[in-house]
Structures are given as structure tokens and as C-alpha cells.
Structure 1
Amino acid sequence: MFFEREVTFQLKAWTSRPKPKPLLLKGARQVGKTSILKWFGKKEYEKTAYFNFDRQPDLKQFFELTKDPKRIIQNLSLVVGFSIEPRNTLIIFDEIQECKEALNSLKYFEESDEAYHVIGAGSLLGVTLGNYSSFPVGKVEFLEIHPLTFLEFLNQKDPEMAEFIRGIEKVEPLLDYFVNRISESFRLFMISGGMPEPAREIAENGDLSRVEELLDNINQAYQLDFSKHVPSKDIQKIAYIWDSIPSQLAKENKKFLYQVVKPGARAREYEDALTWLIQAGLVQKVSRINKAAIPLPAYLDLSAFKIYLLDVGLLRKKAGLDAKMILNPNDLFSEFKGALAENYILQSLLAQFDNAPVYWTSNGRAELDFLLQHEGELIPIEVKSAENIRGKSLSVYGEENNPKVKIRFSMRNLIQQEGLINIPLFLVDRTKYFLDFVLKV
């Protein structure tokens, strides 16, 4: 089973240009970068030339000896055993962060007269670029891939329902049959999360024990990255932060606290470690604002933020929450259901919108889960993990800021009432469509 991803539409737009700039595909380990690029090369090009600088370290010498793209391509053609030609060959440089000279060579590919189609990818590319001062700015394009969305998962698990969701044109309640059928797949997604391998396992076989094993393997792979790619002074600090995230999100106030990482911990001691996790794409930082005004980045409160994991399945597993508790929910983990729901919502919003959401507080009166800037409007968002929708945050925000539209995510049906859209959790991937629909009315 191969999960077709929305990012392929952006890849198609890139490849259709007369002379596309080299492209860097960012994303955490095991979100599916390599699989997507190989699939895309097979589908859209006559040939695909794939190189991995982690598994083929000898390739680095080709880029150390010359900066001429034609000579580099001649040498690489000998490696793959066929002629690498402009336009009809997709050139993939995987784990490109392992070869700084290859990263730097992208400048010369962009300046070349030949239209070479080059894509670089890497699991720690964000870390490398964040610490690589000589990177050729303006010579490349960037594209980021996130874990699978629920709709991408549903494409394979229940393609008929995926097509049904894409065909929803009005903000109005769905029939119970569709709600119940989609909800079954949604619970499975909340168990596996959006990492392709465990998602594929649960969609194809429904083997929960194997899903748990695969999630453990991913977590261990990340732990190995800590020891392999991080300065020795920060290895343990990164591990402490990584392991503290379920505890951070289990609090009623989910503001990140260094004291939860380790008693007596201070920000100045752990800031570099946290920055590494953010740059590696393993965690997402959501900053606080106290004033709801555009542009949101101008009003960030740098002293307060929340940290979420890149994937809801990994969060569930790290929290030690048994998969069967998702299939048969009960009150034992009611406090943590909110954290899972928020993490899931954040994943989907990041995949849909260019602007990252923030969260909003109002002098101790209320705390809004997310605030999103879209089409010149600020969209307040409240997340509820079930059908119980009691809460005052949206009301307080509405009184103070009079937004054009508000969003609540919950397990209640799709409905619009007096400027509020209630979107079922399983329809979060259609948020941008619903917003655009309502804002244009």
C-alpha cells in the first residue's frame, strides 16, 4: 500500500516549470520523503537517479573535486549505470545534509544552462540549514512534508469515504451512516498516527501489537539520532525534553515548563537542546500571544509557548496509552484525550496553512487553544476531544475581539451557527475549504 500525498501536487507544479530551481524537501525521519520522491520519479520522469549520502559516503568526493554540474553529472551517471539527462531524469540527493559540498553544489545547478531537475532531502536537513551559514540563499526552493493527514490515510483505508469527504460542499450536518463509518477509520488513525509504516500496518492488517512495535522502532531511531548528530553536551538534555512532552501536555495548563523536564532545570541550559528538536522537525512550538492583531508574529510573547510532538501516534505511544483505550474510550484518560486531540489538530493545520498557529490568553480569564491567521482574518480555534463542548474560551475571545468566524473542533456533527463552525475531528483536513466557503459568503 502506498499513501498518495497532497505534497505531490506541489511537486508536479515544481517539475512543470521550464527550469525549476533545485528543491529541498524537509521533514522528520520516517515521514515518507524517500518513498514519495521515488514514486514521483517513477511516475513523472523517464529515469530516476537516486543517491544516498548516508549509505554511499564515497559520493562526497565527486562534489569535493569539482563544482561543475556537468562533471558531477558525468560521474554520477557512472554510478547509476545510465546517462543522467536534463529534464527527463529526476536526480534525488537523499540525506543531503551528510554532504555539505552537495548542498553547496545546488547553487551551481541553479546557475547551469542545463535544466537539471534536482531534489535534495534529509531527515535532519532543518538542523543543518539552521547552522550552515554559507548556504546559497535564493538558489533553491523549499518544500516541507508532514506526517500523513487523516484524509490521506482514509484514501487507502476507505477510499469511498475519502471521496465523500472531498465532495462536501456545504457546512451542514452529515448523516449518521457517514459519521459512524468515518469515525471507525478515525479511531484507527489516532492509534497509528501519521507515520506511514504504522499507518500502513493498521490499514492493511489491523495488527495493533505490530503497530506498537513500529512506533517503538521510530522512537528508538530518533533516540539514535540524538546520540549520532548532537553535540555531546546536549544529548541528555534533548532526551529529557523529548521524554517530558507527554507530561507537559497532560497538565491542565499546557505551557512548556523547564522544571517538568528536570527539577531545577533552567531555560538557558536547555534552549539549545529544544532548538535542535524544533529544527529536526520532531516537535512543534506554538507561541503565546496576549493581543490578537495582525500580523501575529509581531505580537508573540517569547516567554511562553507550548510544545507538541510531530505525530499523534508517537504521542499516544510515548504517553503509554494502550491502543485499545482509543478503540474503547473511557474516563481513565479523559485528561489526556484533550492533548491527543490538540496534537492531531495542530498536525492538520500545519499541513493546510502557510502560517503556523499560536495560542491566546486573556489576563487569566481564558486560554484559546489556537489562533490562526488566514486571508486577512484571525480565526479563533477551540478543540474538544468528545461531544462535550462546554467551555468559555471562544466566548471570551469573541467578546474581546468580535471575529468574523470562529471554529470549534469536536466529535459533534458539522454545523454553522451564528458565526461558529463546529467541525468534527475527522473533517479537520477540510478546514481550509470550510473557512474559505464561509468567508466568501
Structure 2
Amino acid sequence: MKRDLLGDLDDWFGRDNRKPLIIRGARQVGKTWLVRAFAEKRFENMVEINFDLNPEKADLFASRDVEQILRLLEVDLDADILPGRTLLFLDEIQSAPEVIPLLRYFFEKIPRLHVVAAGSLLEFVLSKHTFSMPVGRIEYLFMGPMSFSEFLAANGREKLCRFLAGYCLDDPLPQSIHATFLGLLTEYCTVGGMPAAVQAYSQSGDVRLAAREQSSILQTYRDDFLKYGDRIDARLLGTVFGAIPRLIGQKLKYVNIDRNARAKPLADCIDMLEMARVIYCVTHSAGNGVPLGAEKNTKDRKPLFLDVGLLCCALGLKATELHLAEDLVLVNSGAVAEQFAGQHLLYAGESYAEPELCYWNREQRSSSSEVDYLFAHGSQVVPVEIKAGKVGSLKSLHVFAAEKGSARAVRLNTDIPSRCMVSSSVASKPSQPFELISLPLYLIGETNRLLTQQDSA
């Protein structure tokens, strides 16, 4: 398999001001595989320590003298550690949090040594740490599930990947190629982007084997609940985790999770699942300008699951149900399409920045409106609606464009790509002309590139 983040690691490798790197992401998204593939490509050897499997190895890092640490590691592991030629990989570093502050000394004393750490549940350590964090002396890289294009590459469809990467909005898109992509989109939504599920499917072509891996991953996440802390109710945590898949695309209301539970414990459970990165809460933003996070309302949220394949598994949706659906956008009241789009937009930004995604709504008795997602394209706020049907049915996009003066908007569906000029039609509001760009869901990974092309056209 190939991950796009290998390119980010290549950039990190070649920088003179490189700092120790911590890769952050949920369990099972492929952090360890990524580092091993990077090491095989770039280094003579790799020294790997897994603190979860070998917690006693933390004793080797008892000193602040990194030269001494390296000598001890070489003896203990019977390996050579050569700056510029060896990758030092500290896996599951959350199991040895006392090692994290020492990363600064590798940067200060041996900057030529490439040091990468990785961890899941790392946020729990960082949120309650009592040590001094090496601010300005470490870098982060955030990792999510495999994208649709990575899924295509893993299944030997490199030509299709290149087609997507080179597609321009005014290029013709034959119906036969469009149909092929829609079929593969449905496959992706069934299998998802968790590497174990993708690998099982790519090697066998059997979605049942992918489903077995998905079930195992979901159970692993449940087994982790006891690691979240002794003050959390594991039973309630399980209830929340089980409820989130059926709430995708809906405003988060505690009564829809457990009407008998108190708000504070439910809020704590949601926070814990977010810290573990197995869910993400998309937050309302006023959407007046960038950065979108500057106008967030954290009380107005809607949940995303980590991965669309895990979502379908948790909901019990079978591959046949997705393939037989008239339109993927309509499956499960649009939740599958909204999850697919959301997880791609969430990780569409720079890999070194904390992933962030917002949406917009306006609640009024007579005319409520909601735009599924907002994202920043340069200095522009671009609204995104996931919707089948005609231009005139995009009421919320019209409302947003009229209120915010939007120059463009994106509609995601399962039709051939198109673009046209539209004038907003909202009572008591001046008409606002904007460009409506309609893209099939499978082009979501190219959205920013396509908008940039339009900017320079």
C-alpha cells in the first residue's frame, strides 16, 4: 500500500531545520506501517522501540544525556545508531510519556539524528501531563484513514488515480468512466479506509473479510475504554460509542444518545472519544471569514465517525445494500455520503495542522437552514452541500450565499461534474450571484486543486 503522507515524511527528511516528529492518529490508521515504509525507503537501518510491548525500555531514557541514551540503546538492542543514516522510531510513546520531554534534547544535541515517535491515545497523556512539553522543538503530523485515491492505489487502480489527479472541470468525463468511479466509490464506502480492511479486501476481493477486520477494529476501540481513565463510566462510554453512527449528520443532542443519562457524563464521554480520535465533532461556525475556527460555537456540533467503512459496519449496512441503492447520497438518509465527504475534508488541510472542520446553520422557527460543511480556500469560505437533485433545491446554499456574499459554492452528488452561475433566491435578501460547482463525491480529494484552477482561469 501507499500513503500520501510518505511525501510529507520525505519533505521532513530533507529539511535542515528538521525536528523530532510525533505522528498522531487513532489506533489502526497505519502509523507504524507508515514509519516502517519510510525507513525502508530512506535509511540504512531503523531502531524501533514499542513502549506498549516493552514498557521496560523506558528505563533506557532515564537520563537527559542523549549521547548516553544512544549508547544504552545500542547495547540493549545490539544495533548501530548513526545520525543521518539511522531512523530512531519510538512507537506507542503514550505508554512512556516521560520520554516525550526528552525529544527536545535530541533536537538540541544531535539534530542530524532522525527521530520519529507515534502514539494513539496520545491526547490523554498530553491533556494531563505534569512535565514540560518541548514546545518549538518537536513537530506533529496528523494521520487519518486511507483516502479514496489511496484505496484505488491499494487495489491496483493507479491509472484511475492519475486520471483524478489530472482532471480539469472543463474536461469531458465519459459516462462509462463516471460509472466505474461510482462503483469504486461504493466499494470504498463499504470497505472504508482502515488499512487492515483495505488490505484484506485488496488481497481477496471479498468484502466479508474486510468486514471481519472492521468488526475487530471496533472491538479494539471498545476494549480501549478502560484506558481512558478511572473516572469515566465505561458502560456509558460504550452507549455513546454505539449511538454516534446513527447520529451522523444530525445536531448532537444528548437526549438522542441516552435520555436517562445526565448531560455532564455524556459530554465527558464525547470528549474522551474525540481525544481518542475515533469520532470528531464538526462545529458550527458563523462563516464570515477565515479562520473558520475563530467564530466557532462549541455548543452546536454534529458528529463524524472515524471512517465510513467502520460506520457502515457499525450500522450493519451490507455491500449489497449500497450497490443496490439508487443514489449513494440517499443511503441511510445521507449519512454515508456525509461521512465520506466529512472525513476527506477533515484531513484535506496541511498534515502538520490539527484537523478541523466546520458547518453552518441558522435556526429560525419558519426558515431553518444548514450547510453541511464549510472549508477555507485561501481567504474564501466555501460552503459545501451534499445533495442530489436540481440547483433550485439547494435552499441552504442560497441562504448562506445571500447572507455571506459567497462567490462560489460546492455541491457534492453522484452526477457528472458541472459548473454554472447561480443567483441566490432568498426572500428579503438582495440577489447574490455565485458560481455553483457540482462535483461527484469521488472528486472530493481534488476540490482544492480544482478551485485553484478556477482561480487562475
User: Which residue, out of 406, 416, 419, partners 1:416?
Assistant: 419
State yes or no: 1:282 paired with 2:278. Answer: yes
State yes or no: 1:54 paired with 2:52. Answer: yes
Q: What is the one-letter code of the residue matched to 2:302?
A: K
State yes or no: 1:7 paired with 2:10. Answer: no
Matches within 5 A, 1:132-281: 132-134=129-131, 135-157=133-155, 158-249=157-248, 254-281=250-277
SS at match of 1:352: coil
Distance 1:80 1:17 in 2: 28
Distance 2:311 2:357 in 1: 19
Distance 1:374 1:77 in 2: 48
2:374 is matched with 371
Q: Report the TM-score when normalising by structure 1.
A: 0.93
Shift of 1:432: 1.1
Give per-residue Cα distances to partners, 1:204-244, cap 9 Å, x unaligned: 32212211111000000001111234325332232121111
Distance 2:79 2:17 in 1: 22
2:316 is matched with 320
User: Which residue, out of 376, 391, 394, partners 1:391?
Assistant: 394
Q: Relative to 1, partners in 2 of residues 1:120 and 1:113: Cα closer, same or farther, differing over 3 Å? A: closer
Moved more, 85-94 or 154-163: 154-163
1:440 is matched with 456
Distance 1:119 1:299 in 2: 34
Asked if structure 2 preserves the Cα contact closer than 8 Å seen for 1:357 and 1:371, the reply is yes
SS at match of 2:48: strand
Shift of 1:265: 2.8
Asked if structure 2 preserves the Cα contact closer than 8 Å seen for 1:25 and 1:142, the reply is yes
SS at match of 2:403: helix
Shift of 1:340: 1.0
Q: Relative to 1, partners in 2 of residues 1:10 and 1:197: Cα closer, same or farther, differing over 3 Å? A: same
2:430 is matched with none
Residue segments in structure 2 that go unaligned for 5+ positions in a row = 422-434
SS at match of 2:290: coil
Shift of 1:405: 1.2
Distance 1:127 1:368 in 2: 32
Distance 1:352 1:175 in 2: 27
Q: Relative to 1, partners in 2 of residues 1:120 and 1:331: Cα closer, same or farther, differing over 3 Å? A: closer
User: Which residue, out of 113, 128, 133, partners 2:125?
Assistant: 128
Asked if structure 1 preserves the Cα contact closer than 8 Å seen for 2:93 and 2:100, the reply is yes
Q: Relative to 1, partners in 2 of residues 1:330 and 1:230: Cα closer, same or farther, differing over 3 Å? A: farther
Q: What is the one-letter code of the residue matched to 1:440?
A: S
Matches within 5 A, 1:356-367: 356-364=356-364, 365=367, 366-367=369-370
State yes or no: 1:344 paired with 2:343. Answer: no
Distance 2:396 2:328 in 1: 25
SS at match of 1:31: coil
Distance 1:279 1:57 in 2: 23
Distance 1:202 1:114 in 2: 41
Q: Report the TM-score when normalising by structure 2.
A: 0.90
Q: What is the one-letter code of the residue matched to 1:163?
A: R
Distance 2:286 2:10 in 1: 40
Q: What is the one-letter code of the residue matched to 1:56?
A: N
Give per-residue Cα distances to partners, 1:326-355, cap 9 Å, x unaligned: 122259994615111111111111221246
Shift of 1:191: 0.3
SS at match of 1:237: helix
Asked if structure 1 preserves the Cα contact closer than 8 Å seen for 2:304 and 2:343, the reply is no
Asked if structure 2 preserves the Cα contact closer than 8 Å seen for 1:24 and 1:119, the reply is yes
2:39 is matched with 41
Shift of 1:16: 0.6
Moved more, 300-309 or 405-414: 300-309
Give per-residue Cα distances to partners, 1:81-132, cap 9 Å, x unaligned: 2210111111110000100221121121111145211000011112222222
Asked if structure 2 preserves the Cα contact closer than 8 Å seen for 1:32 and 1:196, the reply is yes
Distance 1:388 1:230 in 2: 49
Asked if structure 2 preserves the Cα contact closer than 8 Å seen for 1:234 and 1:272, the reply is no
User: Which residue, out of 422, 445, 451, partners 1:429?
Assistant: 445
Give per-residue Cα distances to partners, 1:274-330, cap 9 Å, x unaligned: 111111111111111345333322222222101110100111111111221112225
Moved more, 34-43 or 238-247: 238-247
Shift of 1:273: 1.9
Q: What is the one-letter code of the residue matched to 1:111?
A: E
Q: Relative to 1, partners in 2 of residues 1:171 and 1:240: Cα closer, same or farther, differing over 3 Å? A: farther
Two-structure CA RMSD over aligned residues (Å): 2.0
Distance 1:234 1:70 in 2: 44
Moved more, 205-214 or 89-98: 205-214
Shift of 1:174: 1.0
User: Which residue, out of 406, 409, 417, partners 1:406?
Assistant: 409
Give per-residue Cα distances to partners, 1:154-183, cap 9 Å, x unaligned: 113211111111121344441112112222
Shift of 1:136: 1.8
Q: Relative to 1, partners in 2 of residues 1:264 and 1:107: Cα closer, same or farther, differing over 3 Å? A: same
Give per-residue Cα distances to partners, 1:338-386, cap 9 Å, x unaligned: 11111111111122124622111124331110111220101010012x5
Asked if structure 1 preserves the Cα contact closer than 8 Å seen for 2:359 and 2:371, the reply is yes
Asked if structure 2 preserves the Cα contact closer than 8 Å seen for 1:172 and 1:415, the reply is no
Distance 1:87 1:326 in 2: 49
SS at match of 1:86: coil
State yes or no: 1:93 paired with 2:90. Answer: yes
Shift of 1:261: 1.7
Q: Relative to 1, partners in 2 of residues 1:415 and 1:287: Cα closer, same or farther, differing over 3 Å? A: same
Distance 1:363 1:290 in 2: 12
Identity within the alignment, %: 30
Q: What is the one-letter code of the residue matched to 1:51?
A: I
Distance 1:206 1:110 in 2: 45
Moved more, 72-81 or 430-439: 72-81
User: Which residue, out of 276, 280, 300, partners 1:304?
Assistant: 300
State yes or no: 1:76 paired with 2:79. Answer: no
Moved more, 139-148 or 352-361: 352-361
Asked if structure 1 preserves the Cα contact closer than 8 Å seen for 2:329 and 2:414, the reply is no
